[in-house]
Structure 1
């Protein structure tokens, strides 16, 4: 395959909900399968490891000082990913072995913020197995703020992958025009949008971003069904009381640089979806519009981005 072509795999799978180790094993299985089919990039949904906080919207999660909510949250934190403790080392090793790049959505419990708060993070691992960026979601959405903390701009980065320049955002961050522009300005031409899982989230914005940026856009969603909750989940009876049969139906899809579908949203199907992308299509569509190039006015409009990793305490030895 030429340097201008990139085979991508969209991993539309369900987590082993709130079981970090079991979900990581499922990620490894998907990577192996994708590599066997010649994929050079595999993308997983938002917060897949160990799962999206589905209980928030169905268990009165905003109740103050509620024991049930505290215990579920603590279980969530116990299963969050700690990169500093090498939780992702098996994924890195597999990426290197298979020579495949990875975008993986995780719930992160980072030590550089004290090691207790949770962040919705999107991790990029290159084909050499190196973690190249960890982007913490800038603004958790609505009830997500009850369990996730706001991130920072440190992970607003792009990465070379064959002829492409890839970057990514989490869920409704993709609706933030300035966050998108920050990546466009770095040369992004393959945009990765990760979601917890719903066709209603991906069916419009995927094509819109593609047409705005004249880039390929990959949206990858997870699945979650009532049957995916594990029996040992704390307060499972409370969670299931008002739980629908399907919480996330997928919706993974790809739009081309002209805003037209390459792969229309796929619902209620677990597994890997494949497509080969041709970089030349980006150059064709940038002929008439380039949002940070010939169709921009930096003398009138500019964006300033703070990419410092934020912390409450700075130490001087």
Structure 2
């Protein structure tokens, strides 16, 4: 392997569409794009929000708030069955591939957890270059109609990770707008912020540059795509979905802003692409000369943040449970 420069990190933005609502097929596709990113020298590859098995676009388009709707029940049941169960090993092949190719990964998934029944979480998973699943952050607050199919997350995954010269952290979609969630990552030394989105330049074009200026960090925003042709005829209620979900539901908008807020890669829409950029950590140090939000420009004697990292659960069992 070619020696990496101690100050730089090469990042790949994998702007792709899922094999919508099909977990295994989408994970296979993610693996193909991971391989491509690794072959092109990327040390980190990032995928969009809820990519595996896909964002719930049907909710907005098919009267998702109608109570006791058979259509909504059947689509939700399918969604649960296709969600990612990390404890069951659904991500193990991808983690093994990351280790084999020596590349770190941020990936948006719909997560189900056996100890939380059949509820779903919008999670961003970080897999390090050794193939370890180092954090799983469940979106703190689903946005608007997302609350009809996703549950509220917790602070367990509000973590940063060393990656070369950088300290990287990530958030899902609109929780990037939450000042305290960002502050929790800044306080852990974050200087490379990953923001993942289902897709749309209207989401990425303002906040990407704003977070970069606020955090004096590089900010990588990665979006997915979703087109009518991505709807599989084998899905439940295909005819209804095909009629309701016309055109482009998500068109990308992936981009990178430098620590001064300038575009390193401006948002691009409309097609699948692997966009690559090399980040120089010395730019972070330059911009933090006059502003460091968790360092010399903070006042912890006046304002401080407390973060509850305990994974939420509905029951705790104490004592010897063996028969």
Shared fold (TM-score, shorter chain, > 0.5): yes
Match of 1:58 among 45, 58, 61: 61
- In structure 2, what is the Cα distance between the partners aligned to 1:290 and 1:271? 34
Matches within 5 A, 1:91-170: 91-114=94-117, 116-170=118-172
Cα displacement (A) at 1:241: 2.4
Runs of 4+ in 1 over 3 A off after TM superposition: none
**Residue in 1 aligned with 2:219?**
217
- In structure 2, what is the Cα distance between the partners aligned to 1:228 and 1:269? 13
Structure 1 gap segments, 5+ residues each: none
Q: State yes or no: 1:297 paired with 2:289.
A: no
**Residue in 1 aligned with 2:76?**
73
- In structure 2, what is the Cα distance between the partners aligned to 1:270 and 1:88? 23
- In structure 2, what is the Cα distance between the partners aligned to 1:263 and 1:112? 41
The secondary structure found in structure 2 opposite 1:155 is: coil
**Residue in 2 aligned with 1:174?**
176
- In structure 2, what is the Cα distance between the partners aligned to 1:296 and 1:165? 19
- In structure 1, what is the Cα distance between the partners aligned to 2:296 and 2:255? 29
The secondary structure found in structure 2 opposite 1:85 is: coil
Cα displacement (A) at 1:76: 0.6
Cα displacement (A) at 1:302: 1.1
- In structure 2, what is the Cα distance between the partners aligned to 1:239 and 1:142? 20
- In structure 1, what is the Cα distance between the partners aligned to 2:193 and 2:57? 26
**Residue in 2 aligned with 1:194?**
196
- In structure 1, what is the Cα distance between the partners aligned to 2:166 and 2:300? 24
Q: State yes or no: 1:16 paired with 2:19.
A: yes
- In structure 2, what is the Cα distance between the partners aligned to 1:156 and 1:224? 28
**Residue in 1 aligned with 2:32?**
29
Cα displacement (A) at 1:238: 1.8
Pairs aligned (count): 316
What do residues 33-74 of structure 1 show as CA deviations (whole Å, max 9, x unaligned)? 111101000000001000000000000000001100000000
Cα displacement (A) at 1:251: 0.2
The secondary structure found in structure 2 opposite 1:69 is: helix
TM normalised by structure 2 equals 0.97
**Residue in 1 aligned with 2:273?**
271
Q: State yes or no: 1:247 paired with 2:249.
A: yes
Matches within 5 A, 1:36-55: 36-55=39-58
Structure 2 gap segments, 5+ residues each: none
